[in-house]
Structure 1
């Protein structure tokens, strides 16, 4: 084949490839049609190029690899943007100031459980003991901060005990990682729920954070998980149960760090219901 014709065919193949990848990336409804047309057009071109010199084929292969890498990177960015949009519209972030972040490293924590490294730090306004959430619920808390990154202890780490409220009644309890002292075996990744006050958990009860002073280390009302099993009553003072976290620690990618806000003023006094304040009696005149 004439070299000029081969170059034209190569150019046509590259253009067709770009059009197909662009349609896929944009999520266009005509992506399937473009793909079908691409197969019709590119097929004969590929057959015509079967006799092309090796260096031209190698150059085309290199361009194809570069295009695929570019598309993969753009697809990753689009996915992150979608997750960020979900996060900003989610209940865990409502009413809070937040710093959006991406997980850049993950490791098993020396304390047990998993630790994450985020791409935000002190220069972004992140401080230690800040709550970290995903669109689904609680992910963990910030335990260390550097200028550009921060480390997160993921929910369920050994030694981490979180105050929670359970079910519609908001019964006080704690959740922690299963320990060797548990009488019941629990599925991998689950948490142990221990009631602090009398009450009986029910399968399906939603477990939410109790909250801390100034939202450190946990803001109030963030979903932790759901009760999946209730332990038998063995005569103990309070009941225990199994909780499945709403967040999978192995699949955390985009998160929000909730920025704690300290109260700047004292809360106003509110008169008790049914006991209206009585005006003070006028002072008696002093005896002359």
Structure 2
């Protein structure tokens, strides 16, 4: 219906409604009959007026929903690109070959921990025991590979133990999920640090991966987390502590798989340089110079 026609109908409707109101207020005996006639006349007009705007409103609402969906998808893609740029620009990937990936599925183990599926596989150069990282640090390791996807055991899963170095001194230790019989109460999602050599960790110490041969399953120097609490000294030889992981396992999205680079040539050897020593002769000499 055209806007001009709709305005004329609104004027007619308002006039008839006003006439019915005045008739009721005046107590006119024919008001009931006028009301019934008005209903017959105004009913189709009201339906015509209400029908068109309702259809238009429904169309506008549907378009609004579509535009919001498109905007949300575009924002999600921008967020992913931002996280990918952050990953590629982080120190985690410096000097390493990286296969970017996105988490497409997740599974929580009844025994504790989490595994995720990423959208890259053997066709992309991914192989089992590859290190998986995010911009903030270690995610976990690849446990199974198919042509197009790979399964990743996330840091802190049941049975996972990672060799690490702690603090500026690089003290040797391991991190693992809290055990059922752990004497200390640890926050959800935290890790248990166990020293390998006698040493006392300090709150705030950064924990990094020790590294493995050919960088499998864990490349060296990847941030695992930060020491947040040190367990009381109960006379044990080594001290344990609580570590907060560098990544949020509940919000893993864009990750990178580090492609291991096997050493193809022998490592060059070096020998320390020795300096010749000069022996000094003391005491009298015999003979005269000629």
Common fold by TM > 0.5:
yes
Q: Does residue 228 of structure 1 match 2:221? A: no
Give me the whole-angstrom Cα distance separating, in 1, the residues matched to 2:154 and 2:63: 41
Residue 268 of structure 2 corresponds to which residue in structure 1? 268
Are the equivalent residues in 2 in contact too, given 1:111–1:159 (CA < 8 A)? no
Residue 209 of structure 1 corresponds to which residue in structure 2? 209
Are the equivalent residues in 2 in contact too, given 1:204–1:228 (CA < 8 A)? yes
Residue 37 of structure 2 corresponds to which residue in structure 1? none
Residue 155 of structure 2 corresponds to which residue in structure 1? 155
Residue 46 of structure 1 corresponds to which residue in structure 2? none
> What SS does the corresponding residue of 1:220 show, helix, strand or coil?
coil
Give me the whole-angstrom Cα distance separating, in 2, the residues matched to 1:195 and 1:179: 15
TM-score by length of 1: 0.77
Give me the whole-angstrom Cα distance separating, in 2, the residues matched to 1:181 and 1:70: 50
Give me the whole-angstrom Cα distance separating, in 1, the residues matched to 2:207 and 2:123: 33
Q: 1:275 to 1:174 in 2, by over 3 A?
A: farther
Give me the whole-angstrom Cα distance separating, in 2, the residues matched to 1:160 and 1:150: 18
Q: Does residue 164 of structure 1 match 2:164? A: yes
Residue 247 of structure 1 corresponds to which residue in structure 2? 247
Aligned 1:100-139 pairs, distance under 5 A: 100-109=100-109, 111-139=111-139
Give me the whole-angstrom Cα distance separating, in 1, the residues matched to 2:264 and 2:69: 50
Structure 1 gaps of 5+ residues are 7-48, 278-288
Are the equivalent residues in 2 in contact too, given 1:175–1:194 (CA < 8 A)? yes
Give me the whole-angstrom Cα distance separating, in 1, the residues matched to 2:174 and 2:99: 27
> What SS does the corresponding residue of 2:147 show, helix, strand or coil?
coil
1:1-56 per-position Cα deviation (integer Å, ceiling 9, x unaligned): 616999xxxxxxxxxxxxxxxxxxxxxxxxxxxxxxxxxxxxxxxxxx98844333
Taking only aligned residues, the RMSD between alpha carbons, in angstroms, comes to 2.1
Residue 95 of structure 1 corresponds to which residue in structure 2? 95
Are the equivalent residues in 2 in contact too, given 1:87–1:134 (CA < 8 A)? yes
Q: 1:3 to 1:179 in 2, by over 3 A?
A: same
TM-score by length of 2: 0.76
Residue 70 of structure 1 corresponds to which residue in structure 2? 70
1:148-202 per-position Cα deviation (integer Å, ceiling 9, x unaligned): 1111100001111100000000000000000023221111111110110111101
> What SS does the corresponding residue of 1:86 show, helix, strand or coil?
helix
Give me the whole-angstrom Cα distance separating, in 2, the residues matched to 1:100 and 1:5: 60
> What SS does the corresponding residue of 2:81 show, helix, strand or coil?
helix
Give me the whole-angstrom Cα distance separating, in 1, the residues matched to 2:111 and 2:153: 9
1:127-149 per-position Cα deviation (integer Å, ceiling 9, x unaligned): 11011111000011111111111
Give me the whole-angstrom Cα distance separating, in 2, the residues matched to 1:180 and 1:206: 25
What's the CA shift for 1:112? 2.3
